[in-house]
Amino acid sequence: MPSEITPREVWRERRRFVQTGVAALAAAALPGPAGAGHGGRRLAFRPAPGPFRTDEPPTPFKHVAGYNNFYEFGTDKYSPAERAASLRTEPWSVTVEGACEKPGTYTLEDILRPHPLEERIYRLRCVEGWSMVIPWVGFPLADLLRRFAPTSQAKYVEFTTLYDPEQMPGQRRRVLDWPYVEGLRMDEAMHPLTILAVGLYGEVLPNQNGAPLRLVVPWKYGFKSIKSIVRIRFTERQPLTSWMKASPREYGFYANVNPTVDHPRWSQARERRIGEFFKRKTLMFNGYAEQVAHLYRGMNLRQHF
């Protein structure tokens, strides 16, 4: 009897998941409120399960897709929306390498095929002091990483963005040491909150939001959530990320949202939610402390900023 083998709670959770999933797939076929239509291809997905959604109102699409930090298209926040049309997302492939049993170059279709998509409504907090609420469409990063069978040497995962100054004109200036590199500790990468997104607002990701495949780690500052990923590498040593290279004193590897640890030049205690007049208090781990605080138990977060 399956119910004897599978712990009862897990089984219940799965059952609920399947039920809501079916309902959602049916719902997704209809134009829902999130699918008012922003010009992108519609995606089929199920709604965010329990802890993976916030009831805070999502930031309007025009701001989510119009106000971006994506230095590959310029350092101004409006440049990505103006210039990212030059990015070609098809065909796309991702190279997997390092400490795993199944390295190789995978097409985007290979990457996505086995993974049912779901919506995740997450807060996003930029290191600059502003924030948004974004309805992403994606799937858990853990599910993908497991397919590559990481070995015991895999302590970290490193991600790399496309490097092609033809498509990404911002790369013609060396404001950062291109290509953009980010990384996570293995347990952070495998955490259920961590997803790879392929869409937002029910549609395929706009280029300026990191199409066709981007990371979303909601408890860390936005720059950790690397866009337009072309390489995933399992490593034993902590990756050196682009922002650490650019300014090691200001940007650390962890970059967890933390109102008590200021940026050396400005306070991180509060944030301006896009669309709101008053600033609001920034929450520890961007409000995801309950889910992720245990990952950092015993660590000095002032030192590991």
Partner 1 sequence: MRGHGVTGRGWLGPVVWLACLAPLLWLAWGLAQDRLGANPIEVFTRSTGEWALRLLLITLAVTPLRRLTGWRWPQRLRRLLGLYAFFYATVHLVSYLWLDQFFDWGEIGRDILKRPFITAGMSAWLLLLPLALTSTRGMMRRLGGRWKRLHRLVYVAAVLAVLHFFWLVKLDVRPPLVYATLLAALFLLRLRPVRWPGVQRRQENS
Q: In the bound complex, what is the minimum distance in angstroms from residue 175's beta carbon to partner 1? A: 6
Residues in touch with partner 1 (CB under 8 A): 62-63, 66-67, 71, 75, 77-78, 128, 130, 175-176, 246-247, 262, 265-267, 269, 272, 274-275, 277-279
CB of 179 to partner 1, least distance (A): 16
Least CB distance to partner 1 at residue 79 (A): 11
| Residue 71 or 178 having the CB closest to partner 1 | 71
Whichever of 96 and 132 has its CB closer to partner 1, that residue is: 132
Name the minimum Å distance from CB 231 to partner 1.
Answer: 23
The C-alpha atoms of residue 3 and residue 217 are separated, in whole angstroms, by: 33
Structure token pair of residue 247: 């300014």
Residues 6+ away with beta carbon under 8 Å from 194:
140, 141, 142, 184, 188, 215, 216, 217
Q: Residue 270: how many CB atoms within 10 A of its CB? A: 13
Query: Minimum CB separation from partner 1 for residue 75, in Å?
Result: 4
Query: Which of residues 143 and 250 has its CB atom nearest to partner 1 in the complex?
Result: 250
- Residue 132 identity: M
Residue 152 vs residues 88, 237, 275, 305: alpha-carbon distances, Å: 36, 12, 45, 26
Residue number, 152 or 278, with CB nearest to partner 1 = 278
Integer distance in angstroms from the first to the last C-alpha of the chain? 48
How many whole angstroms separate alpha carbon 240 and alpha carbon 68?
23
Structure token digits, residue 206: 């706009």
Residue 120 beta carbon to partner 1: minimum distance, rounded to whole angstroms: 21
DSSP 264-296: SSS--SEEEETT-SS-EEPPGGGGTHHHHGGGG
As a whole number of angstroms, the distance between CA 14 and CA 138 comes to 18
* Cβ atoms within 10 Å of 273's Cβ, excluding its own: 18
Tell me the torsion sign for CA atoms 197, 198, 203, 207. Answer: positive
Question: Please, which residue, 127 or 195, has the CB nearer to partner 1?
Answer: 127
Task: Give whichever of 182 and 188 is closer to partner 1, judged by the CB atom.
Answer: 182
Q: Which is nearer to partner 1, 139 or 221 (CB)?
A: 221
Sorted by sequence, the CB contacts under 8 Å of residue 81 that are 6+ apart come out as 65, 66, 67, 68, 206, 208
Nearer to partner 1, 35 or 66 (CB): 66
- Shortest distance in whole angstroms from residue 48 CB to partner 1: 24
Cα separation, 67 vs 38, whole angstroms: 15
Closest contact distance (angstroms) between CB of 268 and partner 1 is 12
